[in-house]
Amino acid sequence: MLRRAPVRLFSRDTLHGHTKQWLQRQSKDRWVARAHEQEYRSRSAYKLKQLDTKFSFLKKNGVISNDLGCFAGGWSQVALQRTGVGQGRGTGAVIGVDKVRMEPLGQHQFVLGDVTEPATLKQVQSPCAREARRRGAVRHGPQDVRAQDG
């Protein structure tokens, strides 16, 4: 039987500023365990799933979703799934930005930078505008969903 490699939430050489106590709590958390099983990069994925199930904002086709502060990538994974962009379906784009470099996700556009810096926002706006032009959405703002976690 094939065994999947476990999802690694953190690189080996850093705790990303978290304390050992935080990591111990994480190791006992059932949502963290579930995220590992289902190959989500963070337990936050379930928060976004629940919100989208209730409010249906990540519709397939034509959604440009911005995930501000996207590391470790759980929300971006859900956005990629629910918009269809991750499966190569739909016409949208999922763009994530964080000051921590994230391991790439298929079909995801990642911008490294601080969202409070105009230079970073410019970098985020340019793929949004490109996607909006591509789908002819000239009369609407360049992004449909802006998600910010934390």
Ligand X SMILES: C[S@@+](CC[C@H](N)C(=O)[O-])C[C@H]1O[C@@H](n2cnc3c(N)ncnc32)[C@H](O)[C@@H]1O
The interface mask with ligand X, positions 65-104, x = CB under 6 A, is ----xxxxxxx---------------------xxxx----
Q: CB of 135: closest distance to ligand X in angstroms?
A: 25
Sheet (strand 64-68) strand order = 108-112, 93-98, 64-68, 145-148
Q: Output 74 or 84, the one with its CB closest to ligand X.
A: 74
Three-state SS string over 40-85 comes to CCCCHHHHHHHHHHHHCCCCCCCCEEEEECCCCCHHHHHHHHHHCH
Token readout for 61 is: 């086709």
Is residue 121 close enough to count as binding ligand X by CB under 6 A?
no
The residue type at 60: K
| The one among 14, 21, 27, 116 contacting ligand X by CB under 6 A | 116
Give residues in contact with ligand X (CB under 6 A).
Answer: 41-42, 44-45, 69-75, 97-100, 114-116, 149-150
